Amino acid sequence: MNMVITKMKKLVLFLLMVLSLPAYSGDPYWLENRDDSQYEIDVYRSASCGCCKTWIAHLKEHNFVVKDHVLSDVTPLKEQLGVPKKGASCHTAKINGKVIEGHVPAQDIKKVLARKDIKLLAVPGMVSGSPGMDMEEAPKHAFKVYSIDTKGQVGVFSEYSNY
């Protein structure tokens, strides 16, 4: 009986230790260059999307204060905000007058806030390995973060290939 109690105590201690660790969304690469700057961001997503929740966890790890808006259909909002169909993903966010579409790394969001010439960042689709799609053992596919400037020109804001 004492052996069972000892094992139970060890299990409880282990669980308490694990539960007290910070919850990271995935690949430690996305934690690099994390800083203390804090911004409020509105995220719009469907209730059933798991990767959206994981992307929100990624934002929180980078000190974003997330207002999570669950919608039955995000498409009308994407159209209203000017997200091109080719640039669409599963969730859309708004921050300081800018639109963020898809699995954009938090570091890029913070960088674009200092730019007055860019109004939208997008990672089209759901790229394996990107923040929110970086589940354990998920392949790390190369991807680009596209930008749309205030004149409507599309460009590449950043690229990720060997991460």
Predicted confidence (pLDDT) per residue in 118-133, tens digit = 999 999 999 999 999 9
pLDDT for the residue 15? 36
Q: How many CB atoms lie within 10 A of CB 16?
A: 9
The string of DSSP letters for 17-42 reads HHHTS----S-GGGGTT--S--EEEE
pTM: 0.82
Predicted confidence (pLDDT) per residue in 58-88, tens digit = 999 999 999 999 999 999 999 999 999 999 9
Sign of CA dihedral 157, 101, 96, 23: negative
Q: Which residues contact 137 (CB under 8 A, 6 or more apart)?
A: none
| Domains in the chain: boundaries | 24-160
| Fold for the domain defined by 24-160 | Glutaredoxin (3.40.30)
More confident call, 6 vs 140: 140
Predicted confidence (pLDDT) per residue in 35-46, tens digit = 889 999 999 999
Whether the CB-CB separation of 121 and 108 falls below 8 Å is answered with: yes
Whether the CB-CB separation of 61 and 54 falls below 8 Å is answered with: no
